[in-house]
Chains A and B, each alone.
Chain A
Amino acid sequence: MRGLALFAVAAALAGPVSAQVEVVSPGSERTAVVIYRDRPVDTSALIERSNDPYERLDQEGLALIVETRTIDLPAGEAVIRLRGVATGIVPQTATLDGLPARVIERNTDFDLLSPGSLLQRSVGEVVRVVRTNPATGAQVEKAAIVRSGPAGTVLEIDGKLEALGCSGLTERILFDRVPEGLSDQPVLSIRTRAETAGRYTVTLAYLATGLQWSADYVARLNPDGRSLALTGWITLANFGGTGFSDAPVQVVAGNLNRDGDTVPVEAAEVVREPNCWPVDTTTGGPIDLDQLFITGNRTRVVDHLSAAPALSNSNVDDVVVTGSRIARVGELGDYKIYTLPEPTDLNARQTKQVRFLEQDEVRFTRIYGVEVHAGNDSGPRQPVLMLRLKNETASGLGVPLPGGGVSLTETQAGRALFTGQARFEDRGIGLPVELVFGEAMDLTVGQETVSQTTVNGRRRIAMSVTVANDKPGPIEIEIKPGEFAYRGFRIVDSSARSVITDGGYPAWRLSIPAGRSQTLRYTIEYEA
């Protein structure tokens, strides 16, 4: 139903131009969507936040919307209205390519249509006021001139003045038309000057908010215990008010620099403030204003909702999983861009998942970690479980890994068991990936500060750390001295050899057989 409408309107604009032709482009024929994220996001947390009416998820996130439209360009000067752009459009980012005409100016108007703005724009205009007799139900309609606007409306009826909504009668105002320029969404328009008329296919591109994506990984431990199967999913979420159907979708991995001014245009709100004369009585106290201003109050609620459109406070109610095909990765400048295998519908308030990674045998090291601070000898502690991967082909990976959350499951006695979740940042090829999965069961670390002395301005500490393994198999644990960043830090002596880890800090690694415990003794010093 996307057609082309051409209205020739002799605009009653005074000025150097006597008449202007107005062309309306009702919508795009094809829309491509490119979704960005400036930091890894957690879509499930976002969906939870979308339940909160005060959250403005429709103003977060960023996407590039590329629309293909056909425009009938008139010769001479014309105004082309581009309707049906996405809500959340950041108008100053719009670019229009393919129109062989001089663009004199482009405008975005957003005067929100609301009861308040209707009244404000009708000051000095003739409206009709309809009153209903409470007993007989008879309706009386009278012409009235609006003499003052939404902050307490005064009407001129038959040359006399009356206040709107102060009499206790049911009153309503009838307007003949919507005043020019009031609408429920931003209107983009361009003023062009062309030599010749013609029909052109143009590309309108702009940034818009409300769309987000995240990378989510599912890791399943393989039975060999040394490798895992890693599946990566792109989760798309549309918190905006506009759906995109059959759209080519791309997502960009990488952290973009963004400017705080790149936000959607906010409608100028005209709030109707019911305003009457004093209403106290001798009998029952002040007349109930809520009752008096039923319409007025409702107006305010409507205004509030329009500030936070209904779409932002409702559930994302539709989760679609399309895993049959896999998204393709490419380069975009210094980012990675993933192109979804086929055009897809990206409906308002929907999340959607598409697979982008499938690696069956990713080798990893399972290691436990604990940080020891001298003088901090409380009871035994649990170390954390870490899985270390190397993003290399030799380890079964070697693909760009956009940062995100990993859910780890393993199979125990034939049943899947959820082990925990971890997050990591963007990892290019060749980089180590460390996944920290929280505290481990059946492992305890006890520490004892054996001695602390200060000689010649150097503090020397002797520590003893005991690790007990109650697990059914052997484990490896990494012990990190909490003081490694102090000035003049040095390992004087230790019962095991220390290493420099991928994280750049020194540590000791112990291998402990099942049901055994081991003690590490070390002496460090640093400048006091």
Chain B
Amino acid sequence: MIDRLTLMTGAALAVLFGTPAAAQTVQDGSGGPDAVSLTIYNQNIALVEDTRALTVPAGRSRREFPGVSASIRPETVGLSGRGLSVVEQNFDYDLLTPDKLMQSAVGEEIGIVRTNPGSGAQETQRATVLAANQGVVLQVGDHIEVLRDDGVPTRVIFDEVPANLRPRPTLSVTLDAEGAGRRDVTLTYLTTGLRWKADYVARFDERAGRLDLTGWITLTNQSGVTFSNADTRVVAGDVALINPNNPYGGRGYPQPQRAPVRGNGTEQGGAQGLADVYIYPLPEPVTVANNQTKQVGLLDVANVPAAKRYLFEADSFTTETEPRAADVAVIFSNSRASGVGTQLPAGVARVYVNDEAGDPRFIGEDQVPHTPAGSDIVITTGQAFDVTVQPRVVSTQSAPKPAYYRWRTRFEMQYTVRNARPEAVTVEVRQHGLGRDTQLSDQSIEGVVQDANTLVWRVPVPANGETVLTATVVTGG
């Protein structure tokens, strides 16, 4: 087995120690890794394992790693290989620009080529750069002048690129090797710019009470580099990340907005579970190109039992002067019995139904949080055109209360539930805005106190008709 030696190096290590300048620099022929594997998380972070076969001389040598992510978190880099120890790691982001080139030429000789704007004649001279502040001061022969002081077109020719200036940020590692030879080296690091989420397509057949569910893993790569033939897996579940700007808490890199997990499932899903997250390996290596959105199939199940729900929620006891549309949701379960039998990673579900000509048409979309298997999944698609609720406060008055209650009110409520559809529907009416010790009486339909802040009635409404729900609520404290 490979003698693994992993060194996690802090950014502080970029500060010099030892004499790395003495180390021999080895240029590599190939530009990138020989093999790469990616573990991508939901939260704009990914773990890259980059394996390369390197020919390493004995003793100290400095090695550059082209082709690592441009969004690398250098403080998370670890390197392992047989008989190798890391002296130091540097992440150089001193980029080659004309300005830096001139700065590093101070004290050096450059060539200048002036073009006479009248005759077009070119004159080549050697000059020494004395300073490059505000303007470039040159010594040409025995006199001092400022570059392009007269505005005459002047080319500047530099003899070489300083070794520390690079076209891209570059990771370099100074190694200490036991014996020369070729060996596999594995570089592991975290990078931002890679993320994934799930996208679901649900084709809902209301009449049959079934839906077909297709899920896709959607990867996006904005890391600045392409990972070729990467052995890729994605991890569902949010991992803890520290925030460099707020060391006492909070999430670091830009995080997706997440609805609270409402899954109530208790079943174990199919994907490999590890450290309280689920891992989905992609079936074969993929090339994750820069600026690419890539989709790979996640699940495909047909004939999942599903139902439609109309819901109206009133946040407080008020009279609404206009009827308000009820929310429409499609509800199904990802239990084994329903045929799904797997947890669903967070993403967006889009629902399609057939129009009268039988063509599938989009009807709305909703967030799906990380959902354990066996949960009820509610996808709210939109508002019903033909099903409305109009609440009215018939009367309010103070109710008798214990002395330590601040308030107690008796609300006489009336909810007009209308249905212009050609079939009967049932609308769930929820009343919030409750205080303590809520009591229900004089109900035209039996309702329940679902929790301390929710009353629920299930109101049946005939086709092309209306039902008036009345109830008296005494609440407050």
Chain A residues with a Cβ under 8 A of chain B: 13-16, 32, 34, 36, 38, 64, 66, 91-93, 95, 103-111, 123-124, 133-136, 138, 147-149, 151-154, 160-164, 166-169, 181, 205, 207, 250, 252-262, 265, 267-268, 275-284, 286-287, 330-337, 400, 425-426, 428-431, 434, 484-485, 487-490, 500, 503-505, 527
**Contacts of A161 on B, CB cut-off 8 Å?**
101, 157-161
The reply to whether B466 and A430 contact each other, CB–CB distance below 8 Å, is yes
Specify which chain B residues have a CB less than 8 angstroms from the CB of A504 in the assembled complex.
319-321, 390-392
Contacts of A333 in B (CB 8 A): 204, 206, 328, 353, 363, 381
Give residues 378-436 of B contacting A (CB, 8 Å): 380-388, 390-393, 395-398, 409, 418, 420-421
Residue of A nearest to B206 (CB): A333
A167, A430, A490, A503: the one within 8 Å of B156 (CB): A167
Q: Which residues of B contact A490 (CB under 8 A)?
A: 395
Any A CB within 8 A of the CB of B58 = no
- Bound state CA distance, A152 and B390, in angstroms? 64
List chain A residues, Cβ under 8 A from B111.
160
- Shortest distance in angstroms between B150's beta carbon and chain A's nearest beta carbon? 7
Against A, the Cβ 8 Å flags (1 = close, 0 = not) of B112-151 are: 0001111110000000000011111000000000111111
B380 touches A257 (CB 8 A): yes
User: How far apart are A67's CB and chain B's nearest CB, in angstroms?
Assistant: 13
Q: B147: which A residues are within 8 A, CB to CB?
A: 277, 279
Q: How large is the interface on B (under 10, 10 to 19, 20 to 34, 35 or more residues)?
A: 35 or more
Query: In the assembled complex, how far is the CB of residue B131 from the closest CB belonging to chain A, in whole angstroms?
Result: 9
B99 A277 Cβ-Cβ under 8 A: yes
Contact status of A257 and B156, CB under 8 A, knowing A107-B289, A277-B99, A337-B361:
no
Would you call A268 and B396 a contact (CB within 8 A)? no
B196 to chain A, nearest CB (A): 11
Residue of B nearest to A171 (CB): B155
Binds A, one of B42-50, B243-251, B280-288, B451-459: B280-288
**Contact B168–A104 (Cβ < 8 Å):** no
> By the criterion CB–CB under 8 Å, are A257 and B199 in contact?
no
Q: B: which residues have CB within 8 A of A?
A: 95-103, 111, 115-120, 132-136, 146-161, 165, 167-168, 197, 199, 201, 204, 206, 214, 216, 218, 222, 228-229, 257, 283-287, 289-297, 318-323, 325, 327-328, 348, 350, 353, 355-356, 359-367, 380-388, 390-393, 395-398, 409, 418, 420-421, 464, 466
Given the contacts A135-B117, A277-B102, A332-B355, A148 and B97 also touching, CB distance less than 8 Å: yes
Residues of A within 8 Å of B321, CB to CB, are 503-505
What are the 4 tightest A-B residue pairs by CB atom distance, in nearest-first order? A152-B97, A135-B120, A163-B98, A280-B135
**With A163-B156, A484-B319: A15-B287 Cβ-Cβ less than 8 Å:** yes
A457 to B348 alpha-carbon distance, docked (Å): 53
Q: How far is the CB of B24 from chain A (nearest CB, A)?
A: 24
Q: Is the beta-carbon distance between B420 and A278 smaller than 8 angstroms?
A: no
Q: List 18 A-B contacts (CB under 8 A).
A: A34-B362, A36-B362, A109-B292, A123-B167, A147-B167, A148-B95, A162-B156, A162-B157, A205-B360, A250-B361, A267-B291, A276-B98, A278-B102, A336-B385, A428-B387, A429-B386, A488-B395, A504-B321
**Chain B residue at minimal CB-CB distance from A191:** B286
Measured between beta carbons, the chain A residues less than 8 angstroms from B464 are: 429-430
Residues of B near A267 (CB, < 8 A) are: 291
Distance between B9 CB and nearest chain A CB, rounded to angstroms: 27
Q: Are the CB atoms of A166 and B156 closer together than 8 Å?
A: yes
Interface SS of A by simple majority: loop
Tell me whether A123 and B149 are in contact in the complex, defined as CB-CB below 8 angstroms, given that A160-B111, A485-B319 are known contacts: no
Please determine whether B286 and A149 come into contact, CB atoms closer than 8 angstroms: no
Complex alpha-carbon distance, A128 and B222, angstroms: 30
Cβ–Cβ < 8 Å partners of A167 in chain B: 153-156
Q: Are B148 and A134 in contact (CB under 8 A)?
A: no
> Is B398 a contact partner of A265 (Cβ separation < 8 A)?
no
Residue of B nearest to A288 (CB): B151
A253-B385 CB under 8 A given contacts A13-B287, A429-B420:
yes
Q: Which residues of A contact B388 (CB under 8 A)?
A: 428, 431
Which residue of chain A has its CB nearest to the CB of B131?
A278
Q: Give which listed residue, B101, B159, B168, B385, contacts A334 with CB less than 8 A.
A: B385
Q: Which residue of A lies closest to B294 (CB)?
A: A107
Are A111's CB and B398's CB within 8 A?
A: no
Q: Would you call B158 and A133 a contact (CB within 8 A)?
A: no
Contacts of A275 on B, CB cut-off 8 Å?
A: 97-99
B71 to chain A, nearest CB (A): 12
Shortest B344–chain A CB gap in Å is 15
Closest to A283 in B: B149
Query: Which of A14, A110, A253, A277 counts the most B-chain CB atoms under 10 A from its CB?
Result: A277
B120 touches A138 (CB 8 A): yes
Q: Are B98 and A152 in contact (CB under 8 A)?
A: yes
The listed residue with most B CB atoms (<10 A of its CB), out of A16, A108, A257, is: A257
Question: Which single residue of chain B is at the shortest CB-CB distance from A154?
Answer: B96
Tell me if B135 and A281 are in contact (CB < 8 A): yes
Shortest CB-to-CB span from B52 to chain A, Å, is: 14
Pairwise interchain contact A93-B350, C-beta atoms closer than 8 A: yes
Given the complex of chains A and B, what is the CA–CA distance between A13 and B228 in angstroms?
9
Structural contact, A256 and B364, CB atoms closer than 8 A: yes
In angstroms, how far is the closest chain A Cβ from the Cβ of B158? 4
A259-B348, A504-B320 known; A111+B168 contact, CB < 8 A: no
Task: Indicate if the CB atoms of A134 and B365 lie closer than 8 Å.
Answer: no
User: Does A277 contact B136, Cβ atoms closer than 8 Å?
Assistant: yes
Decide: B323 and A277 in contact? CB cutoff 8 A.
no
Residue of A111, A136, A168 most packed against chain B (CB within 10 A):
A168
A265 to B392, CA, bound (A): 45
Inter-subunit contact A278/B115 (CB<8 Å): no
Considering residues B158, B160, B350, which has the most beta carbons from chain A within 10 angstroms of its beta carbon? B350
Which of A149, A151, A161 has the most chain B CB within a 10 Å cutoff? A161
Closest to A401 in B: B385
B132 engages A277 (CB within 8 Å) = yes
B383 to chain A minimum Cβ distance, whole angstroms, is 4
Whether B292 contacts A108 by the Cβ 8 Å rule is: yes
Whole-angstrom distance from the CB of B257 to the nearest CB of chain A? 8
Task: Determine if A134 and B153 form an interchain contact, defined as CB atoms under 8 angstroms apart.
Answer: yes
Q: Are A268 and B149 in contact (CB under 8 A)?
A: no
Q: Give the residues in chain B near A34, CB-CB below 8 Å.
A: 361-362
Within 8 Å CB of A428, what residues of B? 385-388, 418, 420
B440 CB to closest chain A CB (Å) equals 19
Other-chain residue from A109, A151, A153 in contact with B289 (beta carbon distance below 8 A): A109
Q: Are B355 and A505 in contact (CB under 8 A)?
A: no
Q: Are A268 and B291 in contact (CB under 8 A)?
A: yes
Beyond known contacts A66-B359, A268-B290, A277-B103: 19 more, CB 8 A cutoff: A14-B229, A15-B287, A95-B201, A106-B295, A133-B115, A149-B167, A162-B158, A163-B101, A167-B156, A169-B155, A253-B385, A256-B381, A258-B365, A280-B134, A287-B151, A332-B353, A332-B355, A485-B393, A488-B398
